[in-house]
Amino acid sequence: MAQITSIESLVLKSVQEIVLKLYQTQVEETALQIQETRKEFEGDLTVVVFPLLKYSRKTAEATATDLGNALLSSCPIVEKFNVIKGFLNLVIGREFWAGFLQESAFDGTFGTTGISETSPTVMIEYSSPNTNKPLHLGHIRNNLLGYSLSQILSANGNRVIKVNLVNDRGIHICKSMLAWKLFGNGETPASSGKKGDHLVGDYYVRFDQEYKKEMETLSHQGMSAEDAARKAPLMLQAQEMLRLWEARDPEVLQLWTTMNGWVYQGFETTYRELGVSFDHIYYESQTYLSGKQIVAEGLEKGIFEKRPDGSVWCDLTGDGLDEKLLLRSDGTSVYMTQDIGTACQRFAQYPIDRHIYVVGNEQNYHFQVLTLILGKLGYAWARNIQHMSYGMVELPSGKMKSREGTVVDADDLIEEMVQTARDMAQELGKLDGYTPEQARRIYDIIGKGALKYFILKVDPRKNMMFDPRESIDFNGNTGPFVQYSYARIRSVLRKSAEAGISAETGNQVPGDTARLLNDKELSLTKMLYRYPRVVREAGNTLSPALLANYVYELAKEYNQFYHDFPILKEADQDIRALRLALSEYTASVIESAMSLMGIEVPERM
C-alpha cells in the first residue's frame, strides 16, 4: 500500500508546490484530482486540471502545459507528459518502476494492510438460510460474495466479524414440519440416505403440492382464490403450529429441534465444500423475543401503534414509504421484528463501526425500513448499517422456485462442477501422468475455482446468467485460465530451482533493472503495481469483480510475456534474474488475489 500512496503523493505534493509558485495559491490535496490514465492514452497518472482554472485564469490546455513543464523539472519520477484537453497525462520514468520491483518483489504482504489497534470493526452477515430447504445457486452467490468481501475488507485493514443469521422459525419452517408430520411416516436422513437439509426441503415442496390441491378444491366449491389461499386446511394447520411453537408447546418444539438438527448437519457439509466459514452464528429463534420486547417498548413510547385487531405497525408514510407490520394480530412476529432484535443484540455485543448485510436486491425495501425504524427507536448506530444488495442468479432455463422444487441445488452444482472439471481436463490431457489421488484433488480445486470465479467476476449488483460449461473453460476470463497461468509460473520456478538458477540469482532483482526492462516487462510491472489499488477499490465498492477481472488481465499479460520472451533459456544472467523475479512476483499476486476470492490455485496442473 505504501508504494501506491507514494507515487500519488509525490505528484500531489509537486502539483501543490507548482500551483503556489505559478499562481500564488495554496491548494489543498482534496481539491486536486489524480487518477490512472485511461488505456487509450499514453501515461500512468492523469492530473485533472479543471479545478485549477480559476487560479491560472488560462485555458485548460495552457494550464495543463504549464503544470507538465514544471513537473518535468521538479518531480524526478515524471519522464514526459501529454495534454488531452483538460487532462495532463504523466509518464512515470523507468527508474521508479525499477525501484518498485527491487523494493517489493519478494514482499509476501504486498497489497494488504495489517490490523492495528485503531482498525475499524466491520461485521458482515451473509448466507442467512432458512431451515426449510437446502442451499441453492442463489445461496452460493450470497456465500461467495460474503466470504470474499470479508477477506477483501480484512486485507484493507479492517477487523472483520463474519456472521450468519439462521432463519430457523416462522411459517415456512412450520410448513416443512407439518408436511413431515402428515406424510413422512417417520422418515429420517439415516433411513432415506438423504442429507438432512435435502430431506426437509422435500417436505417443503410436498406441503406446497398438497396446499395447491386444497386451494383448487376450495375454488371449485365457489370460494375466491384469495379466500381459498387463506382458508385451506393445511395453511390453517401451519399457522396453528407456529402459534404453538411460540407458546413453547413441547411436542412442536421437539419436532422443530429434530428437523432443524438434520438441516444444520447438511448446511455444515455444504459450507465446508464451498470453503466458507463464520465467526458467530445467530438464530432467529434466539433473537425474535428481544425484537418483540423492543417493539413493545416502542409501542409504549408512541413510536408504533396498535390496531383494533391487536397487530402492531410503524407508520413510515412521513418518510415517503408505507406502514410496516411488526407484530401480527395473534402476537407472532415477522422478519422485521427479529431483525430489529438481532441488530440490537449485535451492536451491544461487539464494538461495530460498520455492519454490512449481504442480501439479494429483492430485500432493498426491507433494509431501508429496518434502518428507519432503528433510527426512530433512537439507536444512533443505525446509520452504520449498510445493505450490500446483489442481483439474482438465473439459468438458461429460467428463474428458480424453492416451493416448486425447481432450484439448482448447491450440493448438486458443486458435484457437477468437479465432474465437469474432470471431463474437460481428461479431454485436454491436462493431468496425464498424475496419480488418481493427485488428479482428484486438482479436479476439486479446478471445479470449485471455476464456480467461484464465474460468480464473483460479475458486478455483484447485476443479475447474472450462470453457465457451468462456460465457467470451466481453460481459455478466456475463467477461474481455470487463471489457475493454469499460476501453475505454469510455478512450473517455471521449479525448473529454475532444479537447474540451480534460483540459487545463482539469490531471489534478487538486478540492480540495473531500469536499463534491462523491455516494454512488455515494464507493462507487467505496472500491472503488478496496481494490485494494492485494486484491493482498496474492491473494498471501497464492495465488489470482488474488480479483483477477478484484474487477476485475469494480469494472467493474460504474463502469458503474453511468457510466450514472447525466454526465461530459463535466456543467456544474459541479469535479464534471466529479472524475468524470474517478475514470474515470482506475478505468481504471488495471483495467489493473493485468488485467495481473497476464496479460490485455491494448484502448484501443478
What integer pLDDT is reported at residue 80 of this predicted model? 96
What integer pLDDT is reported at residue 3 of this predicted model? 42
CATH number of 2-92: 3.30.1360.70
Does residue 421 contact residue 391 with C-beta atoms inside 8 Å?
no
Angle CA(210)–CA(137)–CA(215) in degrees, nearest 5? 15
Strand 45-48 relative to strand 87-92: parallel, antiparallel, unpaired?
antiparallel
What integer pLDDT is reported at residue 507 of this predicted model? 62
Q: Which CATH architecture has domain 126-394?
A: 3-Layer(aba) Sandwich (3.40)
Q: Which CATH architecture has domain 414-596?
A: Orthogonal Bundle (1.10)
Q: Strand, helix or coil at 231?
A: helix
Q: Strand, helix or coil at 595?
A: helix
Q: Which residue has the higher pLDDT, 333 or 6?
A: 333
| pLDDT, mean over the chain | 92
CB count in 10 Å sphere of residue 495: 13
Highest mean pLDDT among 4-13, 329-338, 395-404: 329-338
CB count in 10 Å sphere of residue 394: 15
Does residue 274 contact residue 268 with C-beta atoms inside 8 Å?
no
Does residue 252 contact residue 241 with C-beta atoms inside 8 Å?
yes
Which whole number is the average pLDDT over 28-32? 88
Does residue 296 contact residue 347 with C-beta atoms inside 8 Å?
no
pLDDT range class, residue 397, cuts 50, 70, 90: low
Strand 280-283 relative to strand 121-125: parallel, antiparallel, unpaired?
unpaired
What integer pLDDT is reported at residue 572 of this predicted model? 92
Helices 250-274 and 171-183, packing angle to 10 deg = 110
Whether the pLDDT of residue 221 is over 90: the answer is yes
pLDDT range class, residue 402, cuts 50, 70, 90: very low
Q: Which residue has the higher pLDDT, 408 or 309?
A: 309
Which whole number is the average pLDDT over 471-475? 82
Question: What are the pLDDT digits (tens) for 240-278?
Answer: 999 899 899 999 999 999 999 999 999 999 999 999 999
CATH 1.10.730.10, the chain: domain bounds: 414-596
**Residue where the block lists cell 415477522:** 334
Whether the pLDDT of residue 477 is over 90: the answer is yes
What does the alpha-carbon distance between residue 28 and residue 435 come to, in Å, rounded to a whole number?
Answer: 63
Question: What are the pLDDT digits (tens) for 435-448?
Answer: 888 889 999 999 99
CATH 3.30.1360.70, the chain: domain bounds: 2-92
What does the alpha-carbon distance between residue 562 and residue 485 come to, in Å, rounded to a whole number?
Answer: 10
Question: What are the pLDDT digits (tens) for 94-141?
Answer: 999 999 988 887 777 888 898 999 999 999 999 999 999 999 999 999
What integer pLDDT is reported at residue 422 of this predicted model? 87
What does the alpha-carbon distance between residue 300 and residue 123 come to, in Å, rounded to a whole number?
Answer: 31
All cell numbers assigned to 185? 411416516
Which percentage of the chain shows pLDDT scores above 70? 96
Whether the pLDDT of residue 558 is over 80: the answer is yes
Which whole number is the average pLDDT over 480-494? 95
Question: What are the pLDDT digits (tens) for 362-391?
Answer: 999 999 999 999 999 999 999 999 999 999
Residue 181: its H or E element: helix 171-183
What integer pLDDT is reported at residue 300 of this predicted model? 95
What does the alpha-carbon distance between residue 255 and residue 145 come to, in Å, rounded to a whole number?
Answer: 33
What integer pLDDT is reported at residue 509 of this predicted model? 80
Highest mean pLDDT among 33-42, 417-426, 469-478: 33-42
**Burial tier of 26 (Cβ tally within 10 Å: 0-12, 13-18, 19+):** exposed
Angle CA(392)–CA(161)–CA(410) in degrees, nearest 5? 35
Whether the pLDDT of residue 146 is over 90: the answer is yes
What integer pLDDT is reported at residue 319 of this predicted model? 95
What does the alpha-carbon distance between residue 546 and residue 127 come to, in Å, rounded to a whole number?
Answer: 22
CATH 3.40.50.620, the chain: domain bounds: 126-394
Q: Which residue has the higher pLDDT, 584 or 425?
A: 584
Whether the pLDDT of residue 404 is over 70: the answer is no
**Burial tier of 240 (Cβ tally within 10 Å: 0-12, 13-18, 19+):** middle
Between 181-190, 445-454, 473-482, the lowest mean confidence (pLDDT) is in: 473-482
